[in-house]
Amino acid sequence: MSKNLVDTVLTPRARDLGDFNVRRVLPDGRHPMVGPFVFFDHMGPAEFPPGHGIDVRPHPHINLATVTYLFEGELFHHDSLDARQNIEPGAVNWMTAGRGIVHSERSSPESRASHMRIHGIQSWIALPKDDEECEPAFWHHPANTLPQWSHDGIQMRLIAGRAFGYESPVYVFSPMFYVDCNAIASGHVTLPSDYTERAAYIASGQVTVDGQSFDEGQMLVFTAGANATLAIAEGSRIMLLGGEPLSEPRHLWWNFVSSRLERIEQAKQDWREGRFDSVPGDDEFIPLPE
């Protein structure tokens, strides 16, 4: 494999969230971020018997945006703005935390009534410094509102940003791209060349780059300017992502991301002392880690 093509191969670490495990790829010591992507969790696939499901109690975020995208199952979002939204496969939930927001993520009563399965990706997008303290907001984009097309046997959906001549309706704060590639048949995809930082995450299946094969769970971070083409095996699910790096490094602690360490310390104190807005009708919360 050419050293000038793939810069780094990242391998996820398992994290126990209580109801299920996730595979956490970002942040990584070698690549804390890829473009504005500062956090990348692969959820599941996880299965729950009737009567059980996911219960992520209310918790806070600052200075970032969360992006939830599912391959299977559903998840109900409720936040301190009183936005209530069930997300299904192919749709996008984009929550801008800005100066601060609190939300919960739970399985709906309907999905708990029978055997359920969930599989997807949750990522965090760091906001540019001038936008970190913007007003919090929530947007839902159904699957049929996102650009979709087929290329060489691969079904592609643009989740956010611009790529391959398409633009997603999802509002973004800095140049980025985020694409779901579902290989109905084996095929080839060349990554967009007009972004400084680019990566491909193998959610399932296998890809070959420059004669070397890579498997499920690996994230390939490509060298800036490299003409990278992926040979994607039939049945694989690949996430393409990246964008322009932000001008300042980001600090991450628990659910908080900021360009300023003192802002994270303030958020810790605010959550400990109950100064964040609450999720209407939900008295539960995740305590600050000690």
- Convert the pLDDT of each residue in 204-250 to its tens digit: 999 999 999 999 999 999 999 899 999 999 999 999 999 999 999 99
Cα angle 13, 56, 180 (rounded to 5 degrees) comes to 55
Task: Count Cβ atoms within 10 A of the Cβ of residue 134 and give its class: 0-12 exposed, 13-18 middle, 19 or more buried.
Answer: middle
Contact 56, 86 (CB under 8 A): no
Q: What is the DSSP letter of 145?
A: G
What is the predicted pLDDT for the residue at 2? 45
Q: For the residues of 3-66, what is the DSSP string, one character each?
A: TTTEEEEE--EEEE-SSSEEEEEES-SS-S-BTTEEEEEEEEEEEE-TT---EEEEEEEBSEEE
User: In this structure, what token pair is assigned to residue 135?
Assistant: 């007003």
Phi first, then psi, for residue 91 (nearest 5°) are -90, 170
**Cα–Cα separations (whole angstroms), residue 27 to 30, 34, 79, 125, 287:** 9, 9, 25, 11, 22
Phi first, then psi, for residue 132 (nearest 5°) are -60, -35
Work out whether the CA dihedral 189, 192, 193, 197 comes out positive or negative. Answer: negative
Of all helices (H) and strands (E), which one includes residue 270? helix 261-272
What is the predicted pLDDT for the residue at 290? 84
- Rounded Cα distance between 246 and 38, Å, is 11
Contact 92, 140 (CB under 8 A): yes
Q: Is 98 helix (H, G, I), strand (E, B) or coil?
A: coil
Q: Is 117 helix (H, G, I), strand (E, B) or coil?
A: strand
User: In this structure, what token pair is assigned to residue 206?
Assistant: 């296998």
Cα angle 239, 241, 242 (rounded to 5 degrees) comes to 170
Closest to 64 (Cα-Cα) out of 12, 137, 14: 137
User: In this structure, what token pair is assigned to residue 61?
Assistant: 């975020």
What is the predicted pLDDT for the residue at 17? 67
Q: What is the pLDDT along the chain (290 residues), one digit of tens a residue?
A: 445 799 999 999 988 766 677 899 999 999 999 999 999 999 989 999 999 999 999 999 999 999 999 999 999 999 999 999 999 999 999 999 999 999 999 999 988 998 999 999 999 999 999 999 999 999 999 999 999 999 999 999 999 999 999 999 999 999 999 999 999 999 999 999 999 999 999 999 999 999 999 999 999 999 998 999 999 999 999 999 999 999 999 999 999 999 999 999 999 999 999 999 999 999 999 999 98
Of all helices (H) and strands (E), which one includes residue 202? strand 197-204
